[in-house]
Amino acid sequence: MRQLSLVSALVMALSATTVMAEDVKVLEKVIDAKSFTKLVLEVPVGEINIKAAKGSEISLVVELDPDEDWLGRSSDLSDAQISRGDDGSTLKLKVDLEDDDDVEQSWTVMMPADMAISLNLGVGSVEIDDLTSDIKVYVGVGEVDVAVNTSLYDSIKLDAGVGDTSIKGGKGRYERDQVLVTSSSQLHGEGKKELEANVGVGDIEVRDNQ
């Protein structure tokens, strides 16, 4: 009887895992970025992971994981798709969803290193690696982690309304202010690019990757 109970429990656990996996929807897209100099992403809730890649293409993988309401129902993702908007040399991307606040979006983006980027995230985390371009990040609540060659930047500015900011490594004039729960950090270098990150509540860290 005990063995049967254990087997039943295992089957139930596997069934639950399968249901969860079926609820998650994965969107993939490859975009030729030759005619664009800037990428803009709009994400209400989730994670954004940006990595530099060779070539002129932007490769996107977006996982959509809906939350359940108190009745155990989750958002319908059947019509979810990556929406693309072109504004001159700026490419704007987001996922079209009816209830986007109830769906966690996990973006993995491989893109040209020299393409500028602007990220707008309501709640969640941002990670950026090896870009050599202008970078702007705005997060309502969450964390930002950036690893770049800081010598390429004329200005690196970080601001947290409630939280901590830090710039590790690199050369230049470094300034940091902490007033009660507010934190700001700046690095003035000799490069030509600009990096700016802001969070309402959370932490920001920029690291020199050289």
- Cα distance between residue 177 and residue 57, in whole Å: 39
Written as tens digits, the pLDDT of the chain (210 aa) is 444 444 444 444 443 333 344 578 999 999 999 999 999 999 999 999 999 999 999 999 999 988 755 444 456 687 889 999 988 899 999 998 876 668 999 999 999 999 999 999 999 999 999 999 999 999 999 999 999 999 999 999 999 999 999 999 888 889 999 899 999 999 999 899 999 999 999 999 999 998
- Cα distance between residue 116 and residue 192, in whole Å: 13
Please return the burial class of 25, using the count of CB atoms within 10 Å of its CB with bins 0-12, 13-18 and 19+: middle
Residue with the two structure tokens 């986007």: 100
Closest of 183, 187, 188, 176 to residue 201, by C-alpha: 183
pTM: 0.85
- Cα distance between residue 69 and residue 29, in whole Å: 29
Q: Where are the domains of the chain?
A: 25-208
